[in-house]
Amino acid sequence: MVANYGEALLAAAVKALGIAYLPTFIVGADLQAGRLVTILEDFAGPPIDLCLIYAPNRHLSPRMRAFIDFFYERFGDRPHWDLVE
């Protein structure tokens, strides 16, 4: 099966119709719930970086500071969807 929609590939994998190569933000909940398992870990793709760019020499508004804090908490060192036990 070939699709350019990750949710379709996820649904097929959860129904045991094959394996899928998907990012963890799509399959994280299913990995955590045990509906999927990781295989072929040596074939992981390159990491994707998320960045916030802002002028550090300017005073940050409380709204911007709150967004930066939220962003780091949500996507910091390891995003919540990668924290599979």
If the chain, 85 residues long, is cut into consecutive pieces of 10 residues, what is the mean pLDDT of each piece? 91 94 88 91 77 79 88 74 61
Closest CA to 37 of 28, 25, 46, 47: 28
Residue 51: the pLDDT is 80
Residue 80: the pLDDT is 63
Residue 11: the pLDDT is 96
Residue 81: the pLDDT is 64
pTM of the model: 0.60
How far is the CA of 1 from the CAs of 10, 19, 22, 30, 35, in angstroms?
Answer: 11, 10, 13, 20, 20
- Indicate the domain borders of the chain: 6-82
Residue 84: the pLDDT is 58
